[in-house]
C-alpha cells in the first residue's frame, strides 16, 4: 500500500503491521539524516561555474534534482563529463572536499531525528547508515550529527558491487546486522534510494526533504513523511510498538 504525504495518519497505520517483530532500521544519510542537498547544490554550482559548464550559467535546482541528487559520483561524472570520465571523477572528488568544508560548518539534523533515535534505542533495534556518499562524507556527517555511536554499521555504495539504485548496499547492511528484509524499515529521501530499498524487499518511508513528492511516489515508497515529527510516522510506529508488547 502506498500513502502520500498528504494522506491521513490512519491510513499509514496498517502499512507497517507486517513487519512485526521489527528488527532493524536503515537510514540513508544525505537528505535523510540531514538536509545536506543545498550544500551539495552550492558546491556543484560554484565549481561548475568556475570551469564554464553550461556556458557559465549556474545550474539551477531542477538540474540538480534531475542529474545529481541521490546519484553515485561515478554516474554524476558520466552525466556531467560524458567525453572525459577521468576529469569528471577528479571533479567530483574535488567537489566532495568542498562539501565537507561546508558541512563541517553548516550541517543540521532533520526535524525529529533525535526523537526517532530515542525510540529506536528504547526498542533495542539494530541500525545502519546506507549511503551513496563517499565514506569520508558519510562519517563526517554522522559524526557532526552526534550519531557515530548510534549506527552499528555504515555501508557505502562504492564499496558494494553496485551502488543505489541497485539493492546491493541495503542487502549488505542487512547481512552485517544479521537482520531480515521482512522485519526492517528504511528511511530515504531520493527516488534512487527508494528504488534500492524496494528492490531489496524492504518497506521504505520516504522523506520529502527536497525531492518532489511525485518523483518519490514513482519509486513506490510505503508512505511519505515531511520529517521525523510527522504524525503519520508516529501513528505507524505506535502500531508496531503495540504489537511488540
Q: Mean per-residue pLDDT for 93-100?
A: 95
Residue 41 CB neighbours (<10 A): 20
Question: What's the pLDDT score for residue 6?
Answer: 45
Question: What's the pLDDT score for residue 17?
Answer: 80
**% of residues, the chain, pLDDT over 90:** 83
Q: Which three cell numbers stand for residue 92?
A: 567530483
Last residue of a domain, one of 106, 130, 156: 106
- 113 with 230, same domain: the answer is yes
Whether the pLDDT of residue 242 is over 90: the answer is: no
> pLDDT tens-digit profile of 46-93?
999 999 999 999 999 999 989 998 888 999 999 999 999 999 999 999
- Is residue 189 part of the annotated active site? The answer reads no
Owning domain of residue 102: 37-106
- What is the secondary structure of 159-191 as a DSSP string? GSSS-TTSSHHHHHHHHHHT--GGGEEEEE-SH
Q: Which three cell numbers stand for residue 187?
A: 528511511
- 80 with 178, same domain: the answer is no
Residue 1 lies in a domain: no
Q: Mean per-residue pLDDT for 19-48?
A: 95
Residue 205 lies in a domain: yes
Of these residues, 7, 11, 30, 37, which one is catalytic? 30
- 118 with 87, same domain: the answer is no
Domains: count for the chain? 2
- Is residue 149 part of the annotated active site? The answer reads no
- 87 with 25, same domain: the answer is no
Whether the pLDDT of residue 20 is over 90: the answer is: no
Question: What's the pLDDT score for residue 142?
Answer: 97
Q: Rounded to the nearest 5°, which phi and psi values hold at 34?
A: -145, 155
- 24 with 47, same domain: the answer is no
- 155 with 186, same domain: the answer is yes
Q: What pTM value is reported for the model?
A: 0.86
End-to-end, the C-alpha distance of the chain in Å comes to 25
Last residue of a domain, one of 91, 106, 121: 106
pLDDT greater at residue 7 or residue 106:
106
Of these residues, 7, 28, 37, 168, which one is catalytic? 28
- 133 with 90, same domain: the answer is no
- 31 with 41, same domain: the answer is no
List the CATH number of the domain containing 202. 3.40.50.1000
Q: Mean per-residue pLDDT for 172-179?
A: 98
- 120 with 232, same domain: the answer is yes
Amino acid at each position: 500500500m502506498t500513502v502520500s504525504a498528504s494522506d491521513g495518519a490512519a491510513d499509514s497505520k496498517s502499512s507497517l503491521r507486517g513487519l512485526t517483530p521489527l528488527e532493524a532500521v536503515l537510514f540513508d544519510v544525505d537528505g535523510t539524516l540531514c538536509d545536506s542537498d543545498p550544500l551539495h547544490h552550492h558546491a556543484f554550482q560554484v565549481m561548475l561555474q568556475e570551469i564554464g559548464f553550461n556556458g557559465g550559467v549556474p545550474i539551477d535546482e531542477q538540474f540538480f534534482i534531475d542529474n545529481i541528487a541521490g546519484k553515485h559520483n561515478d554516474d554524476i561524472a558520466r552525466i556531467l563529463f560524458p567525453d572525459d570520465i577521468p576529469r569528471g571523477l577528479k571533479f567530483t572528488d574535488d567537489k566532495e572536499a568542498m562539501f565537507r568544508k561546508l558541512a563541517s560548518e553548516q550541517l543540521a539534523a532533520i526535524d525529529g531525528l533525535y526523537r526517532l533515535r530515542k525510540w529506536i534505542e528504547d526498542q533495542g533495534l539494530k541500525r545502519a547508515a546506507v549511503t551513496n556518499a563517499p565514506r569520508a562524507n558519510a562519517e563526517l556527517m554522522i559524526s557532526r550529527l552526534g550519531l557515530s555511536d548510534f549506527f552499528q554499521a555504515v555501508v557505502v555504495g562504492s564499496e558494494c558491487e553496485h551502488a543505489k539504485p541497485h539493492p546491493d548496499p541495503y542487502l549488505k547492511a542487512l547481512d552485517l546486522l544479521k537482520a531480515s528484509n521482512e522485519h526492517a524499515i528504511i528511511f530515504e529521501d531520493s527516488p534512487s534510494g527508494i528504488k534500492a530499498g524496494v528492490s531489496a524487499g524492504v518497506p521504505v518511508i520516504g522523506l520529502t526533504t527536497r525531492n518532489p513528492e511525485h518523483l518519490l511516489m514513482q519509486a513506490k515508497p510505503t508512505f511519505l513523511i515531511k520529517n521525523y515529527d510527522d504524525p503519520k510516522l508516529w501513528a505507524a510506529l505506535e502500531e508496531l510498538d503495540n504489537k511488540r508488547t
